[in-house]
């Protein structure tokens, strides 16, 4: 990936964890932040811009994405750690930062091991698990705009809630963040990470292409429980299926289309509302166009 510069009409199925979807008009993988800044400053790219990381929380429709898709994973991957501050670029995986924090005897970041995406994605949607959320620890962030300008923004400039972050400016994207994790030499963070990873392995269908949790948990209940109670485990459209292991996961059994997956999402929403009177909110972001 690091050698990729600019590709035209590039299939996006290898850039997302569901392994589905059409092509991007243009796809760009920067080598580092300077590379990204220079690309944007030239202003010769197709608009609009779409930023993705590991593609673990998106569904790319079969008609692909217009404009330019910028892949942050494996590009913006620097970590700077001091005694009282941790700075992480947006393209680094959450799993990697969890391991790095534990190695440096920081506590609080172990939950990142359970998030199958990048720091940029975690910042964009306030990802969380095991009782912690990303923005619990953020102090300030670096953003980049369409012209390649970097802006430093404080936490209080954002509206932050469960799985949602409203940015002060629409046309800015996360390129890095400072976190206020604390050091504790006596803490055994690595053991906690192993515990979290074992829990994921036991409860989630990690051996299939999936995008993680499809729906947000409604107040005072769990999306997976509602879906299961509606008898939807194993519900299938084409080669996509509601996981028997975890009902809030939709798996690609092989050669599923984005339309298969979106049809299941629509059906789950309809059935849960019909039987439970609860309107589920999507955690997965649906991008791009239908196949014409």
Catalytic sites, residue numbers: 163, 213, 283
Cis status of the peptide bond prior to 141, with omega within 30 of 0: no
Secondary structure (DSSP) of the chain: -TT--EEEEEE-TTSSTT----EEEEEE--SSHHHHHHHHHHT-SPSSEEEESS-TTEEE-TT-EEEEEEE-TTTS--EEE-SS-EEEETTSBHHHHHHHHHHTTEES-GGGGG--SBHHHHHHHT-EETTEEGGGSEEEEEEEETTS-EEEEEGGGSEEETTEEE-SSTTEEEEEEEE--EE-TT--HHHHHHHHHHHHHHHS-TTS---S-SBPPPTTS-HHHHHHHTT-TT-EETTEEE-SS-TT-EEE-SS--HHHHHHHHHHHHHHHHHHH-----B-SEEES----
Beta bridge partners of 69: 27, 50
């Amino acid at each position: 990936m690091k050698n990729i510069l600019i590709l035209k009409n590039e299939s996006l199925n290898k850039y997302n964890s569901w392994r589905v979807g059409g092509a991007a008009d243009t796809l760009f993988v920067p080598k580092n932040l300077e590379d990204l800044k220079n690309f944007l400053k030239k202003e010769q790219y197709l608009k609009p811009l779409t930023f993705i990381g590991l593609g673990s929380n998106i569904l790319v429709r079969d008609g692909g994405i217009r404009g330019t898709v910028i892949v942050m994973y494996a590009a913006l991957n620097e970590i700077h750690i001091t005694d009282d501050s941790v700075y992480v670029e947006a393209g680094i995986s959450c799993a990697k930062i969890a391991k790095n924090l534990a190695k440096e005897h920081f506590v609080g970041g172990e939950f990142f091991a359970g998030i199958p995406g990048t720091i940029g994605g975690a910042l964009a949607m306030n990802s969380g698990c095991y009782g912690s959320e990303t923005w619990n620890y953020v102090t300030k962030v670096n953003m980049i705009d369409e012209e390649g300008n970097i802006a430093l923004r404080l936490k209080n400039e954002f509206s932050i809630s469960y799985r949602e972050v409203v940015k002060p400016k629409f046309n800015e994207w996360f390129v890095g963040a400072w976190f206020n994790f604390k050091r504790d030499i006596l803490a055994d963070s690595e053991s906690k990470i192993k515990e979290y990873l074992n829990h994921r392995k036991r409860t989630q269908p990690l051996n299939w292409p999936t995008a993680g949790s499809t729906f947000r948990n409604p107040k005072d209940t769990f999306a997976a429980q509602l879906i299961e109670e509606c008898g939807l485990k194993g519900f299938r459209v084409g080669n996509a299926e509601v996981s028997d292991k975890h009902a809030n996961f939709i798996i690609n059994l092989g050669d599923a289309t984005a339309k298969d997956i979106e049809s299941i999402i629509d059906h789950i929403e309809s059935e849960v509302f019909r039987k439970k009177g609860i309107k589920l909110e999507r955690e997965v972001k649906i991008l791009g166009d239908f196949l014409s």
